[in-house]
Amino acid sequence: MENGRGRKRIWKNLIIIRGLPGVGKKNKARKLLYEFGSGGMYSASDYHAMFNWNKDYFSQNHMWNRRDVFRAMKEDVDPIIVYNLHYRLQDMWPFVAMGMRRGDYQISIIELPENYVSINQLYSNCLGKIRKQMFRNWVDFWEEADDIWDVYHDSYSIYRWQNSREEWNF
For the chain, how far is it from start to end, CA to CA, in angstroms? Answer: 29
**Percent of the chain predicted with pLDDT > 90:** 85
Q: Give the model's pLDDT for residue 6.
A: 62
pLDDT single digits (tens) 91-135: 999 999 999 999 999 999 999 998 999 999 999 999 998 999 999
pLDDT single digits (tens) 147-157: 999 999 999 99
- Contacts of residue 13, defined as CB under 8 A and 6 or more positions apart, other chains included, come to 36, 39, 78, 79, 80, 105, 106, 108
> At 18, is the secondary structure helix, strand, or coil?
strand
> At 42, is the secondary structure helix, strand, or coil?
strand
pLDDT single digits (tens) 36-56: 999 999 999 999 888 888 889
Q: Give the model's pLDDT for residue 53.
A: 86
Helix-helix angle 89-102:58-74, to 10 degrees: 20
Helices (H), 23-88: 25-36, 44-50, 58-74
Q: Give the model's pLDDT for residue 4.
A: 56
* CA distances for 148 relative to 15, 37, 118, angstroms: 11, 25, 27
d(CA 64, CA 62): 5
Torsion sign over Cα 21, 24, 30, 35? negative
Q: Give the model's pLDDT for residue 5.
A: 63
pTM comes to 0.91
- Contacts of residue 154, defined as CB under 8 A and 6 or more positions apart, other chains included, come to 89, 90, 93
Q: How many CB atoms lie within 10 A of CB 94?
A: 24
d(CA 72, CA 69): 5
Q: Give the model's pLDDT for residue 145.
A: 96
The mean predicted confidence, pLDDT, of the chain is: 93
DSSP 17: E
Work out the average pLDDT over 145-167. 96
Task: Evaluate if residue 1 carries a pLDDT over 50.
Answer: no
